[in-house]
Amino acid sequence: MMTNRPHASPVRPLVLLDVDGVLNPEVRPGPGWQPHRAQSPIGTFDVILNPGHGRLLLEFADRAGADLVWATSWEHYANHEIAPRIGLPELPVIEVNAHTGAAGIHPKTPPVAEYVAGRPFVWFDDDLDPADTTFLERHGSVGHFRIIHVGPHHGLDEHHLRQAAAWLASLPSSHENRE
């Protein structure tokens, strides 16, 4: 007797986005970047944003078959204050601010580990270190991942996207849901 097993569906990788240092660098790297005042969970800040980043990230995610997700202390404010200024739609948000983090681990890392639930992911961030990588490697709900360090002085650029694209292309072609 044959049984019908549901076909495992491919799992789309995630592209996790930080804001400060990644999309909002410490200094204005070039003429295409624009200053704004933006409300965050802890106050109003001056940010420098590149309106072309949205298009680049959407095209990148589309080519990679990946889903963009906010992994930033801006949390839901990123959808209202950052996304429209760079041309991104509203994205899912990993709520990271409620976590205090363990010694040596960035407070965003444990909520990210829970959120990804085995999906492969690339994380653009400027503030993670080897302890965060070790935490993710040892966490039971984390599968394949790559942290792309973005220097906070200049922010995200094509070089970072090429690194992420190469890593995503190196993944096994069929990521199946672990259900």
pLDDT tier at 90, thresholds 50, 70, 90? very high
- CATH class for domain 14-170? alpha beta
> pTM of the full predicted structure?
0.90
In this predicted structure, which of 34-38, 101-105, 146-150 has the lowest mean pLDDT?
101-105
* Residue 38 pLDDT greater than 60, yes or no: yes
pLDDT digits 0-9 by tens, 138-169: 999 899 999 999 999 999 999 999 999 999 99
Q: What are phi and psi of 16, to 5 degrees?
A: -95, 135
Contacts 24+ apart (CB under 8 A), 130-133: 131/104, 131/105, 132/105, 132/106
DSSP assignment string, 23-83: TB-SS--STT-EEEEEEETTEEEEEEE-TTHHHHHHHHHHHHT-EEEE-STTTTHIIIIIH
What is each CA distance from 88 to 20, 53, 103, 127, 143, in whole angstroms?
16, 8, 34, 23, 27
State the pLDDT at residue 172.
Answer: 83
Domain ranges of the chain: 14-170
